Amino acid sequence: MISIGVLSDTHIPARSDSIPHEVLCAFDNVDAIIHAGDITTMNVVDTLTKIAPLHAVQGNMDEPGIKEKLPLKKVVEIGGKKIGVTHGAGSPFNIKKRVLKSFENNRVDCIVFGHTHKAEKFYKNNILVLNPGSVTDKVFSKTQSFAMIFINDDSTINAEIITI
């Protein structure tokens, strides 16, 4: 089984000094990490790349140095599964529809997005759609959360949202 740690909207240092210890412990043995934007500082990138290979995109609140290095959207292949990653933008209203549309020509098995700070998981047209929420937000969400994606030996893909 392949495990992937998933974050979005960390907003460090504005919302927290660092990634919460619970998240770093949960990511200790992951095969990869996905960050769906609003990293805001390269320190987060440095921390996560020391744990596992990092696949990240920029968010609307990221500093210019991050925006220069990271794309708005990407598709990564891990364990034979294609995972689309984007932050999302604009109003939370209809964001899921916009995110799905942005990957409609990519034949992905999973889409990871952020921006709303609210964790959710659902399936649309046999695609796993996942927003891990935010591990630092106490303004836009009642819970702080991250997620894990699992690619099983039988090639199925699923995810778990973890609140802290």
Predicted confidence at residue 157, as pLDDT, reads 96
Question: Which domains, and CATH codes, for the chain?
Answer: 2-163 (3.60.21.10)
Q: How far apart are CA 37 and CA 41, in angstroms?
A: 11
Q: How far apart are CA 144 and CA 119, in angstroms?
A: 8
Predicted confidence at residue 82, as pLDDT, reads 98
Predicted confidence at residue 101, as pLDDT, reads 95
Predicted confidence at residue 5, as pLDDT, reads 98
pLDDT in tens, 50-91: 999 999 999 999 989 899 999 999 999 999 999 999 999 888
Predicted confidence at residue 137, as pLDDT, reads 85
- Residues forming beta bridges with residue 158, ordered by sequence position: 150
Answer for the pair 150, 158: CB distance below 8 angstroms, yes or no.
yes
Residues of the chain with pLDDT below 50 are none
Residue 157, amino acid:
I
Q: C-alpha dihedral over 30, 16, 140, 35, to 10 degrees?
A: -30
Q: Per the confidence metrics, is the pTM higher than 0.85?
A: yes
Predicted confidence at residue 115, as pLDDT, reads 95
**Residue in the structure block whose two tokens are 């089984």:** 1
Which DSSP state fits 138? S
Q: Is 18 exposed, middle or buried (0-12, 13-18, 19+ CB in 10 A)?
A: middle
Predicted confidence at residue 151, as pLDDT, reads 97
Predicted confidence at residue 92, as pLDDT, reads 82
Predicted confidence at residue 19, as pLDDT, reads 94
